[in-house]
Structure 1
Amino acid sequence: MKDMTKGNPTKIILFFAFPMLLGNIFQQLYNMVDSIVVGKFVGKEALAAVGSSFMLMNFFSAIIIGLCMGTSVVLSQYFGAGDYTKLRKSISTAFIFMLLLTIIMSLTTIIFTKPMLIIMKTPKEILNSSTNYLQIIFGGLIFTFLFNFSSAVLRSVGDSKTPLYFLILASIINIILDLLFVINFNMGVIDVAIATVIAQGVSSLLCLVYAFIKLPVIRIKAKEFVFDRALFSMIKKYSLLTALQQSIMTFGMVCVQGLVNSFGTDTMAAFTAAGKVDSLAYLPVQDFGNAFATYVAQNKGAGNFERIKIGVKSAVRTIIVFCIISSTVILLSSKHLMQIFVSSNEVKVIHIGIQYLSVISVFYVLIGFLFMFYGYFRGMGNLKTSIVLTIVSLGTRVSMAYFLSSFPKIAEKGIWWSIPLGWALADMLGLYIYKRNSHP
């Protein structure tokens, strides 16, 4: 456990964020392995199928992740205030609520997988592969919930290391099973989907057992395993609003994916590969923003508002350093990074991917600040502002993507330029709201 109401803010947030960063690198790794294996061993059509599926998979996963992130803020506040009874009852209430919601979501998405892919303009040649891949993934949403819920509980009390260990385990299992299944069974995207679900299942169950057995402060007694309506009212407010924010973010990307699909298989494959590189590159600032939310929530619970302001200044400096490093690395190595996913013979796919990365990577500092604002407002309990920033960012991105790409001379490059435009507009709004309301 880690009390974030004392000590040097920069060191505390960085040390708390670092295990989260490593964990998400491994999370990205076992997502990337699916793309690498099918791209190298099956072909660009399979890579496009996984890429097209990923946005829908990410959309529904984001709802679950958002629910858990919102609950983590409530738990962090109770932990910061030292109210451990409410902490445990909140864990129980949230678990019951989210478990039922996940089961309903899993069944619904399995039934409507193919219609959703058709709406996204998925090409006919990869429609069946995408459907098969997604239905298996949606069947494993229960494991996505169990892992993210137990991770959120652990992080709310300052333990960001334990989820890392189980993510490493999941990544190793997924890599081994991906290679074993694809090379030996030759079932393509179905193999990598099964491998992913098995890896998630093992890591989620182990993390859940650890969280509720090994840490006394969150060990729920029989009388505390309840559905508390009063606590549910607060949990619902935080979790549903955060889930809405996360789903808006990914829904925007689903819309963008539909536009990408209209440019054909080469662009889809390039977008899939470059997007994996891109998401890995700004992971440090994403996880820093999530750690910052816990820092803000704990200090708000303890009434240390001046300390929150100090943390904001520290966050700005740290994000600038992270983003300069990330941008430089991606710009210098974009061709080699693309060749991790596709054969060097796929010249057009690599060229399109390099174009994407050369535009996006220059502006990583913008999304870094946006993650900081998300973390700040979420930690302060001002979730509506986080949602507004998300709507502004994604609304700009989607509308500008469709507008710019409609010009033949710009084409898919308009999609790439729309992304930093959305970040910039949301940052300006976030800064304005912060300046106006920075004295709680």
Structure 2
Amino acid sequence: MASHTGKIDMIRGSIIKSAALFALPICVGNILQQLYGTVDTLVVGNFCDSAALAAVGTATQPMEILLCVFLGIGNGASILVSQEMGRRNADGLRMLVRTAVWFLYLCAIPVTILAMFVGPALLRLMQVPADAFDYAVLYLRITALGTLGNLGYNMNAGILRGLGDSRSTLLLLLISCLTNIVLDVAFVAVLGMGVAGAALATTIALYLSWLTSILYARRNYEGLQFPLLPHGYNKAQLAAILKVGVPLGLNNSLYSVGHVAVQAVYNMQGSVFVAGCSIAGRVTGIAGIAITSFSSAAVVFAGQNLGAGNYRRLQRGVVQITCAAGVVTLLIGLVATVFCRPLLGLFSSDPAVLDAAVRYTWWVLPFIWTYAVFNCMMSFVNGTGAVKYTTVVNLLILWAVRIPAAYILHALGYGTSSMACVSLSYAVGLVAMLGYFLTPEWGKLRRKAKELGDAVTAETEPTL
């Protein structure tokens, strides 16, 4: 089921075993990613003031807005890679990788320039507290210099996951995370560089992740001929990447803009509340580890089995993997909720900050399992290439539920409990995604499953 490179065959064998083997390295990698961001928060929280801590918590969001369109397109490339793997098309895979690298360079420089000059304006729209604004601008501009590394790593990680290799992302994140920890301590705790040091550590780690991912792909997948620099592209494949990726990217962009709108409500409550929400996000992120892991497995599982014509396996997989994600996330969420105060105490000793963080945790964590279920369903649907329905659902839960609820709570005088809008949107998203299985698109797959069954053959794998 797994090769020497860690590549998982998702079209044969036990569904849960395949998904678990694929998800486990991603799960560990997500822990490292949490550590990646947590180190910034820990070091800044212990060696800087609450304004600096609030700045680090908010400055990443304008970058997310500018990056998310491209990251969505990168996810589109990953979906197409998984489908080509299901078809065993080695030539198509090689050209797809070249096209993705060409597109990476086309986008990276304009995004960097936009981040440098548009980012501060977005921070003003977010109503970042005055005492944190200069810190936030500094953090944003330094991390913007890491745009190429950020986009490049995420693109390459998506390609490797599409191949069925999730172990590689764990290795790459381990290297990057250790680099970030060492540099954070050196720049902030030892050299006293403050927010600038934390941002510089993150930027260097991003470039290291990207370059290491290229070296890994060249060594373990020689047949892909993975390029460092642009080396041609295929118009048809570029069009296919954009067809799948642009809706995902626009969806991500509007979703990130929506997060900024919600963050503006948090910012209205002051730096102490923002700092509390920032450290609470680290604890709630613990429960989200399984969500990203199983969702990544769902995308690749759906793409590979659709490419191979395994329609029955698709139907079984959506139930089994989604249920597994929900159960694991529920258990993690309950444990993290019970022990949230000692966990949060690692980040700050300020009683007011801790009170805000505990309140956020209790409003969000017990309900995060609903997010696990509907996000896993979304990932299955995206893996089949049917991204329009998930785009509508994402826009619905954010712009019709989460944002209005946050502003209504603030207007009614319950701004310090405005995080309840997050749990409400999760519940609505779950109901909306269940509706997909009544649509004609899913009906077509059900009919194909009934008519054709599974089409797995004993074909050899593409030479990579």
Tell me, yes or no, if the aligned pair for 1:360 and 1:420 is still in contact at 8 Å. Answer: yes
Tell me, yes or no, if the aligned pair for 1:153 and 1:211 is still in contact at 8 Å. Answer: no
Q: Which residue of 2 aligns with 1:405?
A: 410
SS at match of 2:434: helix
SS at match of 2:415: coil
Deviations 1:387-432 (A, max 9, x none): 1111012111111111122112x2220x211111111112111101
Tell me, yes or no, if the aligned pair for 1:327 and 1:364 is still in contact at 8 Å. Answer: yes
Q: Which residue of 1 aligns with 2:390?
A: 386
Deviations 1:202-257 (A, max 9, x none): 121011122134313422599x9422111111011112122222223322211111
Q: Hey, what's the Cα distance between the residues in 1 that align with 2:45 and 2:70?
A: 28
What TM-score comes out, normalization by structure 2 length?
Answer: 0.90
Tell me, yes or no, if the aligned pair for 1:89 and 1:225 is still in contact at 8 Å. Answer: no
Q: Which residue of 2 aligns with 1:105?
A: 111
Q: Which residue of 1 aligns with 2:359?
A: 355
Q: Which residue of 2 aligns with 1:293?
A: 299
Q: Which residue of 2 aligns with 1:429?
A: 432
Q: Hey, what's the Cα distance between the residues in 1 that align with 2:330 and 2:129?
A: 38
Structure 1: 5+ residue runs without aligned partners?
A: none
Map 1:315-354 to 2 at 5 A.
315-343=321-349, 346-354=350-358
Residue identity matched to 1:423: Y
The verdict on how the C-alpha distance between 1:175 and 1:221 changes in structure 2, with shifts beyond 3 A counting, is closer
Q: Hey, what's the Cα distance between the residues in 2 that align with 1:215 and 1:91?
A: 11
Tell me, yes or no, if the aligned pair for 1:64 and 1:144 is still in contact at 8 Å. Answer: no
Q: Which residue of 1 aligns with 2:178?
A: 172
Q: Which residue of 2 aligns with 1:202?
A: 208
Q: Hey, what's the Cα distance between the residues in 1 that align with 2:63 and 2:346?
A: 22
SS at match of 1:340: coil
Q: Which residue of 2 aligns with 1:365?
A: 369
Residue identity matched to 1:191: G
Q: Hey, what's the Cα distance between the residues in 2 that align with 1:348 and 1:322?
A: 32
Tell me, yes or no, if the aligned pair for 1:146 and 1:208 is still in contact at 8 Å. Answer: no
Tell me, yes or no, if the aligned pair for 1:26 and 1:167 is still in contact at 8 Å. Answer: yes
Q: Hey, what's the Cα distance between the residues in 1 that align with 2:110 and 2:293?
A: 29
Q: Does 1:75 align with 2:81?
A: yes
Q: Hey, what's the Cα distance between the residues in 1 that align with 2:48 and 2:231?
A: 48
**Which sits farther off after the overlay, 211-220 or 25-34?**
211-220
Residue identity matched to 1:424: A
Structure 2: 5+ residue runs without aligned partners?
A: 1-6, 446-464
Q: Which residue of 2 aligns with 1:417?
A: 420
Q: Does 1:37 align with 2:40?
A: no
Residue identity matched to 1:45: A
Q: Hey, what's the Cα distance between the residues in 2 that align with 1:241 and 1:217?
A: 30
Aligned length in residues? 435
Residue identity matched to 2:14: N
Map 1:1-400 to 2 at 5 A.
1-219=7-225, 225-343=231-349, 346-395=350-399, 396-400=401-405
Deviations 1:13-44 (A, max 9, x none): 11101111111221221111111111111121
The verdict on how the C-alpha distance between 1:92 and 1:354 changes in structure 2, with shifts beyond 3 A counting, is same
Tell me, yes or no, if the aligned pair for 2:326 and 2:370 is still in contact at 8 Å. Answer: no
Deviations 1:169-213 (A, max 9, x none): 111111111111112221210000001111111121011122134
Tell me, yes or no, if the aligned pair for 1:88 and 1:218 is still in contact at 8 Å. Answer: yes
Q: Hey, what's the Cα distance between the residues in 2 that align with 1:220 and 1:129?
A: 39
**Which sits farther off after the overlay, 28-37 or 62-71?**
62-71
Please state how far the C-alpha of 1:95 moved relative to its aligned partner.
1.6
Residue identity matched to 2:307: G
Percent of paired sites with the same residue: 28
The verdict on how the C-alpha distance between 1:46 and 1:89 changes in structure 2, with shifts beyond 3 A counting, is same
Please state how far the C-alpha of 1:58 moved relative to its aligned partner.
3.0
User: Where does structure 1 differ by over 4 angstroms across 4 or more consecutive aligned residues?
Assistant: none
What TM-score comes out, normalization by structure 1 length?
Answer: 0.95
Q: Hey, what's the Cα distance between the residues in 2 that align with 1:324 and 1:21?
A: 15
Residue identity matched to 1:114: P
CA RMSD for the aligned pairs? 1.7
The verdict on how the C-alpha distance between 1:62 and 1:340 changes in structure 2, with shifts beyond 3 A counting, is farther
Q: Hey, what's the Cα distance between the residues in 2 that align with 1:225 and 1:101?
A: 15
Residue identity matched to 2:407: Y
